[in-house]
């Protein structure tokens, strides 16, 4: 399956939109309550940042394989603003044929008209944060939409002309039962999206949901149930014709996310917007995390970079291993050798020997990949390569 990924071009572009209508109870991402004034400050700064990159960087190819507008909730912004950003990007960068242009949207923040405008404006992939199809679970998460609105938005996206849809879901929500999850998966498949992502709920420190759990006000999902829900998703979605191609991601054959594959193949990407991260031939760097800091730097004509890390070949090899092992097909041994001039088996001889003995990884088809036993323990496997 991975042979097809060799057509991937090296640069993806990520834009972080830091606004949400309301903060969800489990979220620790950088986001602010949406207001027209704050959106104006953000957009003004974003156009300045694009302008600075229009002059180019040493060793940097401006050809784009993918654009991903994420957040936050990008669709808090008016569609005409989002399409104006895309127009400017297509003038400054060179969008390769088949360039995947994704926008994240949440039900309750887009209507059919907005979706039509986005589609006409060049967005060709929509990623909807549905999370669950039970209103009580959506309410537990602090989401603003209902299950009925999620179905309605998915159908509206189809009517607006989106032929590439991703739906995001969460398992391991406090109070979620196996029956809830089966209902969610079944309804998700009945909507026939090209792509489905399922994530285990992370109880991030300092969030209201984590606070309720740590004070014993609500019971978290047990580890056993969470694992069973994950395995249920793999079994059910595979049976529905979805290819399980990454730990959390499923796609119709050939409809894998080009942008996210770029991350897992440890390709270069440029991040714009507050708190966005970049990985370019010159290193990894992070933008100012606050809107104020980000806009302030750009107002002075500076790139809003707050931290940089030159990186070493050793760290690049480690990243290539643990990101590549997220793919179900695993790390391509030939590609690793071509990139670094060294064999995976030589660089990580001890680590791989340990993992093979434990039954967590295996060699197959010129790749090193997680086994079924290693999949639920992926994080422990990744630590071996750090």
Which range touches ligand SF4 (CB under 6 A), out of 67-75, 153-161, 180-188, 332-340? Answer: 67-75
Q: Which is nearer to ligand SF4, 196 or 344 (CB)?
A: 196
Binders in 307-346 for ligand SF4, by CB under 6 A: none
| Minimal distance, residue 239 CB to ligand SF4, in Å | 29
- By CB under 6 A, residue 73 contacts ligand SF4: yes
Whichever of 184 and 320 has its CB closer to ligand SF4, that residue is 184
**Minimum separation from the CB atom of position 109 to ligand SF4 (A):** 8
71 is a site residue for ligand SF4 (CB under 6 A): yes
If DSSP states are collapsed to H, E and C, what string results for the chain?
CHHHHHHCCCEEEEEEECEECCCCCCCCCCCEECCHHHHHHHHHHHHHHHHHHHCCCCCCCCEEEEEEEEECCHHHCCHHHHHHHHHHHHHHCEEEEEEEEEEEECCCCCCHHHHHHHHHCCCCEEEEEEECCCHHHHHHHCCCCCHHHHHHHHHHHHHCCCCCEEEEEEECCCCCCHHHHHHHHHHHHHCCCCEEEEEECCCCCCCHHHHHHHCCCCCCCCHHHHHHHHHHHHHHHHHCCCEEEECCEEECCCCCCHHHHHHHCCCEEEEECCCCEEEECCEEEEECCCHHHHHHHHHCCCCCEEEEECCCHHHHHHHHHHHHCCECCCEEHHHHHHHHCCCHHHHCHHHHHHHHHHCCEEEECCEEEECCCCHHHHHHHHHCCC
Among 12, 72, 107, 271, binds ligand SF4 (CB under 6 A): 72
Residues of this chain, 123-142, that bind ligand SF4 according to CB under 6 A = 129
Choice between 34 and 53, CB closer to ligand SF4: 34
> Site residues for ligand SF4, window 12-51 (CB under 6 A)?
20, 23-24, 27, 29, 31
- The least CB distance from residue 274 to ligand SF4, in Å, is 13
Residues 178-237 that bind ligand SF4 (CB under 6 A): none
Q: Write out the residues near ligand SF4 by the rule CB under 6 A.
A: 20, 23-24, 27, 29, 31, 71-73, 106, 129
């Amino acid at each position: 399956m991975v042979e097809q990924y060799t057509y991937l071009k090296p640069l993806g572009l990520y834009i972080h939109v830091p606004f949400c209508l309301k903060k969800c109870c489990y979220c620790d991402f950088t986001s602010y309550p949406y207001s027209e004034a704050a959106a104006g400050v953000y957009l003004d700064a974003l156009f300045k940042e694009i302008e600075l990159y229009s002059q180019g960087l040493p060793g940097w190819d401006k050809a784009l394989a993918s654009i991903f507008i994420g957040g936050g909730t990008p669709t808090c912004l008016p569609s005409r603003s989002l399409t104006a950003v895309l127009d400017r990007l297509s003038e400054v960068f060179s969008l390769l044929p088949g360039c995947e242009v994704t926008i994240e949207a949440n039900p309750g923040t887009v209507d059919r008209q907005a979706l039509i405008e986005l589609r006409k404006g060049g967005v060709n992939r929509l990623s909807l944060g549905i999370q669950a199809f039970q209103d009580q679970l959506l309410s537990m998460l602090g989401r603003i939409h209902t299950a009925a609105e999620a179905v309605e938005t998915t159908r509206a996206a189809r009517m607006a002309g989106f032929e590439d849809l991703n739906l995001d879901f969460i398992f391991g929500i406090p109070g979620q039962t196996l029956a809830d999850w089966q209902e969610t998966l079944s309804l998700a498949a009945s909507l026939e999206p090209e792509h489905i992502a399922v994530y285990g709920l992370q109880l991030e420190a300092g969030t209201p949901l984590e606070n309720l759990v740590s004070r014993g006000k609500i019971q978290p999902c047990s580890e056993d149930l969470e694992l069973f829900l994950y395995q249920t998703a793999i079994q059910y979605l595979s049976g529905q014709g979805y290819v399980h191609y990454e730990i959390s991601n499923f796609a119709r054959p050939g409809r894998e996310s080009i942008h996210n594959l770029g991350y897992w193949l440890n390709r270069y990407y440029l991040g714009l917007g507050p708190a966005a991260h970049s990985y370019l031939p010159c290193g990894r760097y992070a933008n100012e995390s606050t809107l104020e800091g980000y806009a302030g730097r750009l107002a002075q004509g500076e790139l809003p970079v707050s931290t940089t890390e030159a990186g070493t070949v050793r760290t690049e090899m480690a990243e290539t291993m643990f990101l590549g092992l997220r793919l179900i097909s695993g790390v391509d041994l030939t590609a690793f050798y071509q990139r670094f001039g060294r064999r995976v088996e030589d660089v990580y001889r001890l680590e791989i020997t340990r993992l093979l003995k434990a039954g967590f990884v295996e060699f197959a088809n010129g790749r090193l990949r997680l086994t079924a036993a290693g999949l639920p323990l992926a994080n422990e496997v990744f630590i071996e390569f750090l």
